[in-house]
Structure 1
């Protein structure tokens, strides 16, 4: 993979200065969509996509997540935020899209489509088109924190879906010392550290309760709640509802 490549590809067979504090919910109304960025510290094409994700987070209109994958580690830098679970999620999306390979930076939109993660205008335009076509986030989800409990409330809709909680760090500053991004200090936002399916939704309003402490596991904690339909037991599909909950933070 050369430093001049516009998209890093692999073909396959199938917060700085912040401290985590008591958890609070952030409710900005219905999100415009869900953007899941698959990225790597070892990919020279990824920093523009990481910056685009930060712009989306700052705009506050979408649920934005960054999944660091591990298959570029052989190039000389082991991604400090990567996990096999993140990579497995991208493989699962590849199966759903009918693709023979995966790439970085890849942005998966509402679990329905994908695009180069650096194409900020394309991401926003495609999410708008999805919403207009009835492929947006139609099921309302809210989350609130009261003392030691986080309550997730899901509204009514049609069909069945998994309730997926994606835990992330708000910000991580990484000094990349080897590989294609050697010498760069890069801030990574909403980097995923764990993914859990906590239950199922059957189209009827439902509540789920988790300990609020889950938000504070890890620096500058937060989580996204995704209501995701499944193509089969191993293959994710459309995301029909989502929200984000952040641990309260304070500057040093």
Structure 2
């Protein structure tokens, strides 16, 4: 399903192209990549993507986040996991990619490329190609916890380039089984994984080693959480994701 929008503002990928060759050696705990799925309970084309996404969400080597959007709510069913902020993030990607419209289901891989969220081969090929070409997650992120603090240690890149990146906290809920009683998916029961509930920017990173300390109590209030180190341009549009980690997973699956 496609939804029309305004034209693009481009160029963020080029701003960080030099990072791949100058990053520190790959750490074993570094994820293979980040998959962001833009989906909706009111989208008739989305259930196959939601099912595939559940598989990615179950893997330890992938950070998988589902952003439920609002623009299909008018079709008769209001998505209870959707938010304006999720929709805004997708529009940001639309402009960064130079696209003319947003659509669901859309999968964005490492903030660098996008494809249908229902196409397994396209997603896995994108993950592999980005990794092989040095456009994977090249910055180490290590998470540690104490009694009252969660510390996020971000590694560095070599060279003189100055990088503008945000350390982004993405909070997500446990798997939720939803009975869809109206709309295009009426009568279906679908389990939605890692639905994003909130996105906060914890600080800026410019390419050097840096520690970010968070109150543990505040993080625990919101369930699961992921960390994205994401480049941004002067226009504030989302760019390539340079590193990622999971602080803690949300509670277990619904049975």
TM-score bin (small chain): 0.7 to 0.9
Aligned length: 231
Distance 1:91 1:248 in 2: 26
The residue that corresponds to 2:2 in the other structure is 9
Return the alpha-carbon distance in structure 1 between the equivalents of residues 219 and 231 of structure 2: 24
* Residues 1:132 and 1:194: Cα distance change in structure 2 (over 3 Å): same
Is residue 30–residue 137 contact of structure 2 (8 Å, CA) maintained in 1?
yes
Q: Which has the higher contact order (CA 8 A, sep 6+)?
A: 1
Q: Is the 8 A contact 1:215 1:246 kept in 2?
A: no
Partner of 1:59: 59
* Structural RMSD (CA): 1.9
Question: Any gaps of 5 or more consecutive residues in structure 1?
Answer: 1-7, 15-26
Deviations along 1:203-235, one digit per CA (max 9) or x if unpaired, are 1111111112233334xx111100000123421
Counterpart residue number, 1:21: none
Conservation of the 8 A alpha-carbon contact between 2:68 and 2:79? yes
> How big is each residue's C-alpha offset from its partner over 1:166-208, in whole Å with a ceiling of 9 and x where there is no partner?
1110211111111011111111111000111110111111111
**Which residue of structure 1 aligns with residue 134 of structure 2?**
134
For 1:75 and 1:139, locate their aligned partners in 2 and report how far apart those are by CA, in whole Å.
Answer: 42
Alignment partner, residue 235 of structure 1: 237
CA contact 1:36–1:109 (8 Å) conserved in 2: yes
- Aligned 1:98-177 pairs, distance under 5 A: 98-157=98-157, 159-177=163-181
- Which aligned segments of 4 or more residues in structure 1 are displaced greater than 2 angstroms? 213-218, 231-234, 247-252
Shift of 1:251: 8.8
Distance 2:93 2:253 in 1: 37
Question: How far is 1:10 from its partner?
Answer: 1.0
Unaligned runs of 5+ in 2: 8-26
Change (3 A) 1:150 1:174: same
Q: TM-score, normalised by structure 1?
A: 0.87
